[in-house]
Amino acid sequence: METLEKILDLDTSGLDAHAEEAAALLRALANPRRLRILCLLTEGERNVGAIHAHFPAISQSALSQHLAKLRQDGLVVARREAQTMWYSLCAGPAEQMVATLHRIYCSS
């Protein structure tokens, strides 16, 4: 019986070096609220108020915790402008994964 790796002729040696990073990304994407925040940020930079307006069921405190986790995991970048925090999706694996999920689940 052939393995999927053999069938697709995949070289998975690169994943060995990045397995922890990939697992952290998948853990972040596994949380539906964080995934929805990342999807929103694919449309561009948003301030906390604009993000909260899209997800009124999430308390401001919970939203801040989700954004902190996404920032800690390197999936979003934050910048301060006066008293306003702005968030954007980091280019790279997170952006590519969210784009892939969008193609699979959101395209008509």
The hierarchical CATH code for the domain 16-105 is: 1.10.10.10
| Residues 14-30 pLDDT 10s | 777 888 888 889 998 99
Return the higher-pLDDT residue of 33 and 2: 33
- pLDDT category, 87, cuts 50, 70, 90? very high
* pLDDT for res 91: 92
Residue 4 has pLDDT above 80, yes or no: no
Residues contacting 60, CB < 8 A, separation 6+: 48, 52
pTM for the full predicted model = 0.81
103 vs 108: CA distance, rounded Å:
9
Of 67-71, 85-89, 103-107, give the lowest mean pLDDT range. 103-107
